[in-house]
Every structure is written in structure tokens, then in C-alpha cells.
Amino acid sequence: MKAVVYQRFGGPEVLEVMELPDPRVNVDGVLVRVKAAALNPADLGVQADESSFETYFPAVPGWDVAGVVERAGPGAAEFSPGDEVIGYVRGPVAHRNGAYAEKVSADVRTLARKPSGMSWAAAAGLPLGGLTALQALRALALSPGETLLVHGAAGGVGSLAVQLAVSRGIRVIGTAGSPGNLAYVRSLGASAVRYGPGVVSRVLDVVPGVDAVLDGAGLGAVASTSDLVRPGVRVASIAEFSFPGVIPVFARLASGDLATLAELASSGVLSVRVARTFPLASAAEAQLLLASGRAEGKVVLIP
């Protein structure tokens, strides 16, 4: 099979396409023919930093996948050849068997049924962002009628958090930068305010205060609205953990959560915006677009 690999740590420039043997399938695993693999900032971080995880070369990046089961192990009764699936295929070793490839081997616990009616590219963008958003809202323990401020509300995690919160009767204020992203946040059912100097005043023009803050952006977002954090306001972040009381959020693989996300997407509660797709041979270009921060939506590889 063809796969995108790196054989030393670095940025997009270390990526190359290589012919590799098909991944081995465990007794309780399946072999998935990849239809789409979504990129995430974590891909870049792990690829650049040898201290992040144990790594063996050649390493294949990518944790988010959508595809078709090609072969199932004898202990993988949950899936059969031909089943359409999505997965968060992160293992204990960094990028040993990643999704930037024509095929990926996956434990059945990392997979869920692909949402019906969702494109392959959009479906591939659901697992990591969706797990992070769902688990962040759970950590914030929001109730219907409360108000949530989401930083990076047009991003991969933020946009899904907005949709999940709105579906639960939570009022959402979302920050974003560009006019296109502000319009997108409004289309998800949130009030949108421009990020940057004066953001606190713009939030207070919309609501008298907030009950919780979810930072899906980093880059000083928590500090920028610290004046809104009165006693009782909960704050969670996927990127900045140094502020007292901030709840750190890391996506944890939970097959029940992944199945819930797939069901919500099938019912139309959740959608994923795709900015651009690339072939495997252009994976470095795709990573450069992701790193630029200019992609309005998910960046996805199509083998």
C-alpha cells in the first residue's frame, strides 16, 4: 500500500510517500480501506517533537479516519467487510500505524459506524474534534439555560462544541477572527463576536456574563477573557493549562462517545466543515495549510 511517512522528526518537509506492506490485523481488529484521513494540529506536534511519544520509523501520521472495512479478525464480530466506519486510531506508539495511508489496521474499540449521509471527508473530521468537544462539555457540567463562551468557535473542536451545546439548550457565544468564520459560527446557532482586543466588551454587549468558558484556540484566549471569570464560572482549555482552576481537556478514546457522535451526525445535529482535500502525494502541502491557520474548516487527505 502507499502511505505518507516520516523518517526523522520535523515539519511538513520530512513527509514522503512510500510503499509499505499492508498493516497486520489483530484478532480483535479490522483492516480499513481509507477513504479519507483528516489532519489535526496534534499530527504536527507529534511529528516535530521526539519527546512526545515513543516513535518507530518509518512513522505514518494521522489519527482521524473514515473508510470501509476490508477484513475483520476472528474476534471482531462487531464489523464485517463492506461496513463503513469512522475511527480515532491513536495507539500507544506515536504514528506507528497512522491514517495517512491507503489502509489502516484498527482495534474495533477505536471505530464507530460512519454517519449516514455524511461525506467521507466530513466524517473523517469528526472523531478527534468530536471526542474533545463532547468530553470538554462533560467536564464543564453545563445545564440548559446556562451561557457558554467558546474561543475558537469556528475550529475543529470549537465548532463541534458549539453544536453540541446548542443542541442541549445552552446559550453559546463564540469568538472567531475572519468574517467568514464569524458567519459560520452564527450559522451553527451561536452569537458570534470578533476575537482580539476589546473582546470582553463585545461579549458583554451580547450577554451580562457567562457561566463557563471553553478555550478551543489557545494563543492567550483564556487570559483575554479572564475578566469574565467570576466565582462559579468554570473554565476548560484544550491548549492552555497554567491558569489556576482551568480544567485541562485531552481527547480520550471512548467507544461509547464515538458512537454517540456518529449518531448525532446521522441525525443532523452535528456537521463538519471541510476546507480542502488533498491526495496523499500532497500531504506536505496539506500540513502547511493546516499550520498556516488559514484553513476555514478541516484539511483532509483522500488516498
Residue 299: phi and psi, rounded to 5, are: -100, 130
Res 275: pLDDT? 97
Res 93: pLDDT? 62
What pLDDT, in 10s, does the model give residues 229-249? 999 999 999 998 888 899 999
What residues in the chain have per-residue pLDDT under 50?
none
Quick one: 143 exposed, middle or buried, by C-beta within 10 A (0-12, 13-18, 19+)? Answer: exposed
CA dihedral 46, 25, 253, 161 (to 10 degrees): 80
Contacts of 282 (CB under 8 A, 6+ apart): none
Contacts of 163 (CB under 8 A, 6+ apart): 188, 189, 269, 270, 271
In terms of Cα–Cα distance, which of 236, 205, 201, 202 is closest to 221? Answer: 236
Q: List the domain boundaries for the chain.
A: 2-126+272-301, 128-248
Give percent of the chain with pLDDT exceeding 70: 97
In terms of Cα–Cα distance, which of 283, 277, 255, 292 is closest to 36? Answer: 277
Specify whether the CB–CB gap between 46 and 54 falls below 8 A.
no
Angle between helices 156-167 and 179-187 in degrees, nearest 10: 30
How many CA atoms are closer than 13 Å to the CA of 11, on its beta-carbon side? 9
What pLDDT, in 10s, does the model give residues 77-91? 999 999 999 999 987
Query: Quick one: residue 279, left, alpha or beta (phi over 0 = left, psi -120 to 50 = alpha)?
Result: beta
- What is d(CA 86, CA 251) in angstroms, rounded to the nearest whole number? 16
Res 51: pLDDT? 64
Q: How far apart are the first and last CA of the chain?
A: 10
Give me the CATH topology for the region 128-248.
Rossmann fold (3.40.50)
| CATH number of the 2-126+272-301 domain | 3.90.180.10
- What is d(CA 270, CA 123) in angstroms, rounded to the nearest whole number? 10
Number of H helices, E strands in the chain: 9, 15
- What is d(CA 82, CA 235) in angstroms, rounded to the nearest whole number? 43
How many Cβ atoms sit within 10 Å of the Cβ of residue 197? 9
Res 94: pLDDT? 58
Res 50: pLDDT? 66
Specify whether the CB–CB gap between 90 and 253 falls below 8 A.
yes
Q: What is the value of pTM for the model shown?
A: 0.95
